[in-house]
A and B are shown apart, each in its own frame.
Chain A
Amino acid sequence: MSTNTATKTRRRKLGRPSPIANTIALVFCILWAFPIYWMVKTAFTKRSDALNATPQFFPTDPTLDNFHTALFQAGFFENLRSSVIVVAGAVAFAIVAGLFASAALSRFRFSGRRTILVIILLIQMIPGGATLIPQYFVFNATGLLGTYFGLILAYVSATLPFSIWMMRSFFLALPRELEEAAQLDGASTWQVLTKILFPLVLPGVLATSVFTFMNAWNDYLIAYTFMKDQSMYTLPVWLASFSSPITGTDVSGQMAASVLFSLPVVVLFTILQRKLVTGMTGGAVKG
């Protein structure tokens, strides 16, 4: 990842490695990774073995049956479909509207700009649970309650302010000379935006998309409250109510379902982790 010299300077900046520190770190890793290990381990353990008075710390007889159970559990594919629809919708709305707005709020000067920025920051402070009640009322009154479009709008409401803020920090990092040079070459405003600025903030757009994706994919509360039709529930609601109709909660199946549900988020997050951290703190620490 990093070159040799980079590692060396980094090493010099930090303290000297110590065996005690390494030992403490190992203990920390075991403690912190244990719940995840236990989820994955249970997912590969036979149901009868999972419910054992003495837990097996290593799977002796791994099985894929639980994943089969999870995938063919009533509602999985229906609710996966709901999740895909609302997540795609939320990301599309938040990114397009957010990209345009953040361009306006970073590359242009107009009266009211500061007011808009302050409003966006204040909106971000409002707890998500607070907007739930009036949104329920508004969606009920407009017939959007229990529809995918209503749910998408609720997610846009939750993510748009932060998306604007995050992408704006990427726009602000670009030198102002870009527009000057392009204008001298006779480019129109639209061309400056689409040919120069938008491509340059693409990493920011990606990081923001992951943020929006995770927010909508992981949401439980809004979907659980707004959706009435079981077939239109999203995966988190399905996951939370996952149980076998005959014998109650099937722990192994539930852990397999949790693994399947978490996998896309963990993969995306791991790939874009560094950019996400920079974007989040960059937006917040700035100023």
Chain B
Amino acid sequence: MTQKTPKSARAFADRRLPALLLMTPGGILLTAVTLVPLAVMIWMAFTDYNRRSLFTGAYDMVGFDNFIGILTNEEFWWSFIRTILFTAALVIGSLLIGVAISHLMTRLGSKMRILVTIVLVFTWAMPNVAASLVWNWLFQPGYGVFNWILTQLRVFGDMTNTDWGSNTGLAFTSIWLLVVWQAVPFLAMTIYAAETQVSPEYKEAARIDGASERRIYFNVTLPFLQPTILLVTILSVIWDFNVFNQIWLVSHGGPDGTTATLGVFTYITAFVSFDLGTGAALALITALLLAGLTSVYIRHLIRSGEDDL
């Protein structure tokens, strides 16, 4: 904002002591619970800190050994590829459905729109631990209702006793459905909020010129939605890259670690094998990877953090 500020207001905004006092509690907390741990993480990545160290406090500095160990570990590369592919599948799936539902909502009568909104809000609000348990029940071998429905369709044969967790493809399919199910509401409602802001004059003008509804959508509405879609895509990349609970509670990363994404692989390294040094190195690598993937967004954030009062 560049409007002229009268002297008295400037005096308020420039009072140093109140500003400092107000910043203190948050500053102390952020430093103690986030910044210090982050520094510790970088240090830990160069140590062999493990279960024994937790009790005795003994550890060694090992230089880049953890990183070399990770980069030469086939498991790491597989979970890396898995994470990228799974993230892409999740982002694309939830985004397509989200955009479609958003546009659908603009074409509904008011009662139907309220119904869709209620369904979206309820799905959105479901805690993911509860949702994961519901998923396990829907896909439970023997009694799961999805297995029953799929069997009735007579397309896939008898799936009554299919154990979704014991097959990599099936496990990923059910987790994909779960994450997409939970991700669509935020996407649909955010994009819908933007879509209601499209100026009706533009659409009207295009309509008078004889453009079809499809062309109006692709040439008028979609370009208008582009910034919003870009933003939610980046947020989706961050969230989907970090999906943990759903994988952990549905497949536990199995069978044989074949559904372990980087997050699950890191967790198992750090808290099941208790190799905290390697875990910290993995976390560091993951954070850098994510930063690389979203560097456009980070640059945008830094710029927006720089705009004035």
Binding site for B on A (CB under 8 A): 7, 10-18, 21-22, 24-26, 28-29, 32-33, 35-36, 38-39, 42, 50-55, 93, 96-98, 100-101, 103-110, 114, 116-123, 125-138, 140, 153-154, 156-157, 160-161, 164, 176-177, 179-180, 183-184, 189-190, 192-193, 214, 217-218, 220-221, 225, 236, 239-240, 242, 251, 254-255, 258, 261-262, 265-266, 269-270, 273, 277, 281, 284-287
Contact = CB atoms under 8 A, between A and B. Distances in A.
Contacts of B119: 28-29, 32-33
A125 B134 contact: no
Please report whether the interface of chain A is mostly helix, strand, loop or mixed according to DSSP.
Answer: helix
Contacts of A217: 127
A98 B26 contact: yes
Contacts, number: 326
Contact of A156 (B33, B110, B287): B33
A97 B34 contact: no
B137 A138 contact: no
Given A29-B119, A35-B138, A97-B29, A180 B287 contact: no
Given A52-B143, A179-B13, A221-B244, A133 B276 contact: yes
A109 to B, nearest CB: 5
Interface string B16-55: 1011111111110110111111101100100001000010
B138 A108 contact: no
A286 to B, nearest CB: 6
Label chain B's interface by main secondary structure: helix
Of all A-B residue pairs in the complex, the 6 with the closest CB atoms, nearest first, are: A287-B304, A101-B26, A108-B19, A269-B125, A157-B33, A104-B22
A184 B11 CA distance: 12
A97 B104 contact: no
Interface string B204-234: 0000000001000000000000011001000
B162 interface: no
Interface of B: 5-6, 8-9, 11-16, 18-27, 29-30, 32-38, 40-41, 44, 49, 54, 101, 104-110, 112-113, 115-116, 119-135, 137-138, 140, 142-143, 145, 148, 160, 181, 184, 189-190, 193, 195-196, 198, 200, 213, 227-228, 231, 235, 238, 241-242, 244-245, 248-249, 263, 266-267, 270-271, 276, 279-280, 283-284, 286-287, 290-291, 294, 298, 300-307, 309
Contacts of B44: 133-134, 137
B41 A130 contact: yes
Contact of A38 (B25, B134, B238, B291): B134
Contacts of B304: 286-287
